[in-house]
């Protein structure tokens, strides 16, 4: 009888070990297969892809080609506007990609994730990376239009401006996720759209920060868009600041942490 109990205890311990292994996958459930499926889902949204291909280019034409400095042949002004519009396109693309999680919530998919060992960090990371794919498309398309319009930069400037704009766009991928978990699916872009326009206006994307009133200029330095624009344009004007890096890191942590908390709350509902 004792021998039977020993075998039973050993079997229970084995079941616990197997269950623990099942519940604790490597990297919290983050894997390339799931990431690839996320990328396919994002790129299948043709309306969003076409929108971010056209929208930044139209804004570049409106703010750049019609700019008095550009009409005088000032290539620096044209390059400044091009990078700013690429940043805005990446901002729109990553936000819309992240906000798509609201649709998944409405379909009950986030609650299904309760049955998986996927951690909030892994989930948010995969969503951010897939959303940043849309941001990369927006940047490349805007840079292509800018090159065709006469923007002339060194290879190093093209590369550094693009990498800075794309890397910093993780802030708005996290912002899109945060909004997607915060508001219903039918209202998410109604809130996110005006919020992005205001942040771009006060963050030096549509209007140079130096042209804003002194008080507004101070407020602008603390907006999520300010640091991204400063970093992306730094290869053009050499105005790299540690404050811009801190701004990007802090806002990425704020929105990313908020998205993870809301994801955890959403998946814990009965």
User: How do residues 80-96 score in pLDDT, each as one tens digit?
Assistant: 888 988 998 888 888 88
Question: Exposed, middle or buried, 24 (CB in 10 Å: 0-12/13-18/19+)?
Answer: exposed
- Residue 152 is assigned to a structural domain of this protein: yes
Residue 59 domain-assigned (yes or no): yes
Domain that holds residue 85: 35-267
The pTM assigned to this predicted structure is 0.77
Question: Residue 93: inside a domain, yes or no?
Answer: yes
Continuous segment of H or E residues that includes residue 258 = helix 242-267
In a domain, 29, yes or no: no
Instruction: Count the domains in the chain.
Output: 1
- Asked, for residue 157, whether it belongs to a domain, the answer is yes
Query: Would you call 97 helix, strand, or coil by DSSP?
Result: helix
Q: Please check whether residue 198 lies inside any domain of the structure.
A: yes
Query: Does 4 fall in a domain?
Result: no
Q: How far apart are CA 268 and CA 60, in angstroms?
A: 44
d(CA 200, CA 120) in angstroms, rounded, equals 29
CA distances from 23 to 28, 63, 114, 230 (A): 9, 52, 11, 43
Residue 244, domain member (yes or no): yes
Residues in the chain where the model's pLDDT stays below 50: 1-4, 6-8, 10-11, 14-22, 71-73, 270
């Amino acid at each position: 009888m004792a021998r039977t109990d020993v075998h039973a205890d050993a079997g229970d311990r084995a079941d616990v070990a197997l269950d623990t292994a099942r519940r604790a996958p490597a990297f919290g459930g983050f894997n390339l297969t799931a990431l690839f499926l996320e990328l396919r889902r994002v790129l299948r949204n043709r309306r969003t892809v076409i929108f971010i291909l056209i929208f930044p280019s139209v804004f570049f034409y409106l703010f750049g080609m019609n700019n008095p400095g550009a009409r005088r042949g000032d290539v620096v002004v044209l390059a400044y506007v091009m990078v700013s519009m690429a940043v805005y396109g990446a901002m729109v693309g990553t936000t819309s990609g992240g906000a798509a999680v609201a649709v998944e919530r409405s379909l009950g998919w986030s609650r299904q994730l309760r049955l998986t060992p996927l951690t909030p960090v892994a989930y948010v990371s995969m969503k951010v990376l897939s959303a940043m794919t849309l941001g990369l498309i927006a940047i490349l398309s805007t840079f292509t239009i800018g090159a065709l319009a006469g923007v002339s930069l060194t290879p190093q400037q093209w590369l550094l401006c693009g990498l800075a704009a794309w890397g910093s766009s993780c802030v708005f991928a996290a912002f899109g996720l945060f909004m997607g978990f915060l508001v219903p699916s039918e209202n998410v872009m109604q809130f996110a759209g005006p919020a992005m326009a205001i942040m771009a206006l006060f963050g030096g994307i549509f209007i140079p920060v130096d042209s804003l009133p002194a008080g507004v200029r101070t407020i602008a330095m603390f907006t999520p868009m300010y640091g991204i624009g400063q970093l992306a344009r730094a290869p053009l004007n050499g105005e790299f600041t540690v404050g811009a890096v801190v701004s990007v890191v802090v806002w990425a942590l704020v929105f990313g942490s908020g998205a993870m908390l809301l994801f955890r709350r959403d998946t814990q509902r009965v």
